């Protein structure tokens, strides 16, 4: 029985090499050692707890695969998104760096939480551009550690997401342009006002901080590996915007499992497929236009250069998913037992996995069959509650 319809496009990555060990040059970007250090710190934050890993047994039976693991990030630190891990972690790292520069002292996470250096920290202003979830994490981290925060959003970011960031004390500035334009505006204004940019995308001249953001994300992967109790998935379907999350997942599993790592499939919206186009061109390509997509968190036209260093050799396949699959997949999860709250940017990986298995030609291209064990990440919950209700009840 067909679960839902979707248009898919597929590009096999000719640069991928399944047998190649995790390259030593990538350790500077992401490594298990760095991931362990991030876990040790983030697990001390107030309210930390591992998010659930759900086996979607009924959906797996329905599409004819061995199993589906769904890592549910809908309640991470009550921010409803995996981004809570990366943005706030990078904020903490930047505050520690500034404290070291100004005082010569090495601050601990307890020092930040206890406001030991508050007279210095409160003068620091962190800034970023966002589709919503990264900015919410940065704003929350700034509130948690006591520094200032200015967030830039583009014209398509919902009012609900804007208000969520303001609720954490951030000043939110909306620009009349797309996500990439908001990145450039945030960077320009930071130069003028002496702010620290904490971005989840890297570009020429800006590499160090996005590394910290991406390493923060791997906390959920450490949790997931433990929760899978020794099982190694055969396939990972992971949604992508600029590629930071996808690269984190790819690197973590690649170094951990080597040649036993899963087939790694990157999924993007049809209108914002900068990674797929980059793979086709053999170099980073920017997608122009308004990039409009229901999957707002994936509405990105320029590849993170750090992410590309990992994904170019590490991703096996690049796919796009049509908009018509989003709401049905959200409703499918809402009707699951237990019910799972998944926002519109959370479901691209799962929707692509389901649609691929139900398309015999696509299933054959991806090696999907009854023996397949699929891992996906539900990256957000109802980060825009009003839109979520519209989509799951329509």
Q: What are 218-252's pLDDT values in tens digits?
A: 999 999 999 999 999 999 999 999 999 999 999 99
CA–CA separation, 200 and 324 (whole Å): 28
Give percent of the chain above pLDDT 90: 85
Q: State residue 291's pLDDT score.
A: 78
- 388, two tokens: 């979520």
Spot the catalytic one: 83, 180, 200, 384. 83
pLDDT band at 2 (very low <50, low <70, confident <90, very high): low
Q: At which of 166, 193, 213 does a domain end?
A: 213
**Residue 2 resides in a domain:** no
pLDDT number for residue 4: 79
- Domain stops at, among 213, 245, 276: 213
362 and 250 fall within a common domain: yes
Domain that holds residue 284: 8-81+214-393
Is 101 found in the same domain as 145?
yes
* pLDDT given at position 290: 74
Task: Please indicate, yes or no, whether residues 205 and 220 belong to a single structural domain of this protein.
Answer: no
Look at residue 114 and tell me if it is in a domain: yes
115 belongs to the catalytic site: no
Query: Considering the domain boundaries, does residue 159 fall inside one?
Result: yes
Cα separation of the two ends of the chain: 21
Residue where a domain stops, chosen among 155, 188, 213? 213
Domain co-membership, 142 together with 279: no
Region 302-330: mean pLDDT is: 96
Looking at the structure of the chain, the number of domains it has is 2
8 A C-beta contact, residue 287 and residue 273: yes
Q: Which of 72, 131, 212, 316 is catalytic?
A: 131
Q: Does residue 226 fall inside a structural domain?
A: yes
Flag whether 1 is in a domain.
Answer: no
Mean pLDDT (the chain, rounded): 94
Position 200 scores a pLDDT of: 84
Note whether residue 255 is domain-resident.
yes
pLDDT at 15 over 60: yes
Share of the chain above pLDDT 70, in %: 99
Same domain, 362 and 266: yes
Q: Give catalytic status of residue 365 as yes or no.
A: no
- Which has more pLDDT, 291 or 170? 170
Q: What is the per-residue pLDDT for 1?
A: 47
Q: Read off the pLDDT of each residue in 88-107 and give the average, rounded to a whole number.
A: 97
d(CA 288, CA 301): 6
In angstroms, the Cα distances linking 137 to 1, 98, 107, 166 are: 40, 20, 21, 12
């Amino acid at each position: 029985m067909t679960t839902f319809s979707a248009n898919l496009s597929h590009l096999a990555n000719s640069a991928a090499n399944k047998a190649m060990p995790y390259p030593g040059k990538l350790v500077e970007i992401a490594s298990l050692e760095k991931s362990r250090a991030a876990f040790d710190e983030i697990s001390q934050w107030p309210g930390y707890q591992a998010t659930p890993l759900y086996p979607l047994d009924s959906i797996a039976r329905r599409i004819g695969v061995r199993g589906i693991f769904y890592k549910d990030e809908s309640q991470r630190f009550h921010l409803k998104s995996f981004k809570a891990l990366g943005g706030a972690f990078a904020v903490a790292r930047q505050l520690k760096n500034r404290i070291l520069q100004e005082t010569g002292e090495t601050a601990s996470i307890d020092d930040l939480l206890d406001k030991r250096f508050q007279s210095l920290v409160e003068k620091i202003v962190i800034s970023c551009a966002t589709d919503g979830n990264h900015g919410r994490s940065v704003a929350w981290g700034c509130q948690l550690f006591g520094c200032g925060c200015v967030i830039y959003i583009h014209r398509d970011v919902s009012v609900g997401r804007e208000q969520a960031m303001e609720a954490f004390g951030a000043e939110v500035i909306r620009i009349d342009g797309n996500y990439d334009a908001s990145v450039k505006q945030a960077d320009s204004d930071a130069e003028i006002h002496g702010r620290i940019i904490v971005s989840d995308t890297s570009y020429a001249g800006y590499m160090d901080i996005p590394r910290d953001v991406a390493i923060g994300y791997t906390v959920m992967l450490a949790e997931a590996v433990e929760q899978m109790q020794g099982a190694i998935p055969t396939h990972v379907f992971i949604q992508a915007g600029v590629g930071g999350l996808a690269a984190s997942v790819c690197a973590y599993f690649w170094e951990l499992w080597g040649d036993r790592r899963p087939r790694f499939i990157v999924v993007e919206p049809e209108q914002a497929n900068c990674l797929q186009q980059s793979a086709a061109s053999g170099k980073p390509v920017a997608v122009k236009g308004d990039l409009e997509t229901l999957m707002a968190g994936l509405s990105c036209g320029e590849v993170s250069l750090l992410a590309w260093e990992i994904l170019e050799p590490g991703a096996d396949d690049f796919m796009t998913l049509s908009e018509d699959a989003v709401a049905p997949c959200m409703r499918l999860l809402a009707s699951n037992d237990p019910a799972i709250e998944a926002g519109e940017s959370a479901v691209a990986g799962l929707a692509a996995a389901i649609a691929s298995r139900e398309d015999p030609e696509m299933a054959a291209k991806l090696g999907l069959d009854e023996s397949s064990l699929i891992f996906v990440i539900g990256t957000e919950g109802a980060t825009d509650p009003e839109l979520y209700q519209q989509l799951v009840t329509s």
